Amino acid sequence: MLALWRMKMVKTYTIIGIVAIAMSVGPAETDSANTFLIVGEIRTSQDSDGFQSENDIAEQTKFDWAEALVTVTHEVTNSRGENRVVELASGSFEDGRVSLQGDIDKPTYAKISIDNSQDSSLSSTVLIVPGNLVVHHFALLDHRGSHPNEIVLVGAARSTTNQNSMFSISGTYEPQQEDIDNDLLSVHITAEEYYKDNTLNVIDYGEVLLDQSNKFLVEADVDEPRVAQLEIAAGTRVLVRKYVVIEPKVKISLKRNHTVESQFVVATSDLGRHAMLLDSWQLQDEFVSAWDATIVASKSGSSSNKDGSPTEDFMQHWDKAFDIQLKNLKQFASEAQDPLNRLLALELARKILPPGTLKYREIIAWYDELATLLDSDIVERRVTPARNRITAFLKRTENAANLGVGSRVPEFSLANHEGEPISLTQITEDKRLILIDFWAIWCGPCIEAFVPLKKLYESYSNRGFEVVSIAVDTTIEDWKAISQKYELPWFDLHAAGDLLGPIAVAYGVQQLPTTYLIDSENRILRKNIKPDELSKVLQKRYGDSSSEN
């Protein structure tokens, strides 16, 4: 999805007027109560994300989208429980635009697919509604770079019609910066939940490009009150990030506060937990005035002294706004009668307040108390995993400090590509010098280091040198695919979990890449050694790479 890539872009857009597309379909063609209309456009961009391998750049291809087939399909189930795919409409891009029309008798979940012989099929799910009052828009984002092309809805992202579980967030956003290209302004609503192994999962409630009037609407199901993140961005540039409380039957609106000089953006609701936990203090004059003053000072450049330190006036306003946030969120987290509101306030505080504001021991104590007040199901899904991640973070920090040169790294047993367990003991039995390299598929510098490491491995592996790469925060499928792409010749293993998983915690892996150069007794010789430094160590120990034993 667009917000997941957030690439740095040098952009050249082909923008097709959506209104013109809709107008090209006359009233006589859309007067049926069962008719739906979907219009699409192509937007092209040249992107560069700061790390692209030579292979990635070589693989960049310009597609002829006029040859692509655009289809709208949905699945139906017969009386025997068998599923089949039914095509509702199809067409092709002409001059960068497409119009698809068909008939349905009720709101239907469908899939928009674009098949191009030069590219894998692209698809996006859309809830289509019959009737000539609704026009569904999408944009094909043709990234002329290393990122996959994608389909993103425009104006509205609706994924439900169930009024009992629906929440909605809508608004208008006009950027104040002059260098913003409105054609790629997007809104993305997400939340976090935990898997059973305590790793984080992102719930994607919807992403949408703003329409020509800079308006947006996201409607989706939510199973229980949650803290969600609303992000407005243009490419990689995040312009607004707000935290909201979503729950069934609640509508949230995003707007600028035009009563103050900065006209800062605020998300508000007329009812529900969002109104109680956030609006009750963020709409009060005292906070509005202080927050406005800090933004005005930041934009005008008057927030800093010549040496870069904040001015006294700026800090007075900042401290006032911060104190209001801290006081109210802590009060809700400690004293709210409804324990779910206490949990939500704690989750909001951990998102909104600067890191370190709440002490970890204080947070753990709150979670421990909530575990006695909330239903066991919520405790299992939202309280215990959050508490476990804090304790894992503290232990990882402790281990990172303790694992210095001369100390021993912990033992491990991890699976290789065949699923066979490989232990550190097995490796150190035959090798005298071992590089343990922690990496992930999203870590550009990690993957970039594979090339020089492979050269060193080829030169020194027969002299007692070994490499063990351990993939973390990576699915097994992605790990295998990237490892095979780069043809890693050494022990290549997979560790479950993210950077707060058991192995990452045991080895104090706080960032990637993290490396340990150890001897056969598991003692650390060097920590976070780079390939060029490693080359010098190997040359000193074994001689030049071209020499014989």
Q: How do the domains of the chain map onto residue ranges?
A: 1-154, 155-256, 413-542
Residues 351-361 have pLDDT tens digits of 999 999 999 99
Q: Does domain 155-256 have CATH number 1.10.10.10?
A: no
Average pLDDT of span 339-351: 98
Residues 12-25 have pLDDT tens digits of 333 333 333 343 44
Confidence of residue 182 (pLDDT cuts 50, 70, 90): confident
Residues 447-498 have pLDDT tens digits of 999 999 999 999 999 999 999 999 998 899 999 999 999 999 999 999 999 9
Predicted confidence at residue 10, as pLDDT, reads 37
Predicted confidence at residue 120, as pLDDT, reads 65
- 315 three-class SS: helix
The CATH number given to 413-542 is 3.40.30.10
- Model confidence at 243: pLDDT above 50: yes
Please indicate whether residue 235 or residue 385 has the higher confidence score (pLDDT): 385
Predicted confidence at residue 146, as pLDDT, reads 57
As a whole number of angstroms, the distance between CA 188 and CA 207 comes to 4
Are 324 and 294 in contact by the 8 Å Cβ rule? The answer is no
From the CB of residue 345, how many other CB atoms can be counted at a distance below 10 Å?
26
Are 345 and 336 in contact by the 8 Å Cβ rule? The answer is yes
pTM: 0.84
Predicted confidence at residue 311, as pLDDT, reads 92
Residue 371: partners with Cβ closer than 8 Å, 6 or more residues away:
379, 383, 384, 387
Provide, rounded to the nearest whole percent, the portion of the chain with pLDDT above 70. 88
Predicted confidence at residue 178, as pLDDT, reads 81
Confidence of residue 145 (pLDDT cuts 50, 70, 90): low
- Residue linked to tokens 């054609």: 183
Report the half-sphere exposure of 308 (CA within 13 A, side-chain side): 0
Residues 251-276 have pLDDT tens digits of 999 999 988 999 999 999 999 999 99
What DSSP state is assigned to residue 309?
Answer: P
Region for 50 from its dihedrals, namely left if φ exceeds 0, alpha if ψ lies in -120 to 50, beta otherwise: left
As a whole number of angstroms, the distance between CA 505 and CA 400 comes to 8
Predicted confidence at residue 47, as pLDDT, reads 55
Are 148 and 209 in contact by the 8 Å Cβ rule? The answer is no
Residue 534: partners with Cβ closer than 8 Å, 6 or more residues away:
435, 453, 456, 517, 526
Region for 543 from its dihedrals, namely left if φ exceeds 0, alpha if ψ lies in -120 to 50, beta otherwise: left
Residue 426: partners with Cβ closer than 8 Å, 6 or more residues away:
none
Average pLDDT of span 390-414: 97
Predicted confidence at residue 378, as pLDDT, reads 97
As a whole number of angstroms, the distance between CA 489 and CA 437 comes to 13
User: Which residues are bridge partners to 515 per DSSP?
Assistant: 437
What DSSP state is assigned to residue 380?
Answer: I
- Fold identical between 1-154 and 155-256? yes
- 16 three-class SS: coil
- Compute the C-alpha angle 373/378/379, nearest 5°: 60
Predicted confidence at residue 401, as pLDDT, reads 96
Q: Does domain 1-154 have CATH number 3.40.1260.10?
A: no
From the CB of residue 370, how many other CB atoms can be counted at a distance below 10 Å?
22
Residues 86-139 have pLDDT tens digits of 999 999 999 999 999 999 989 999 999 999 876 568 999 999 988 756 679 999
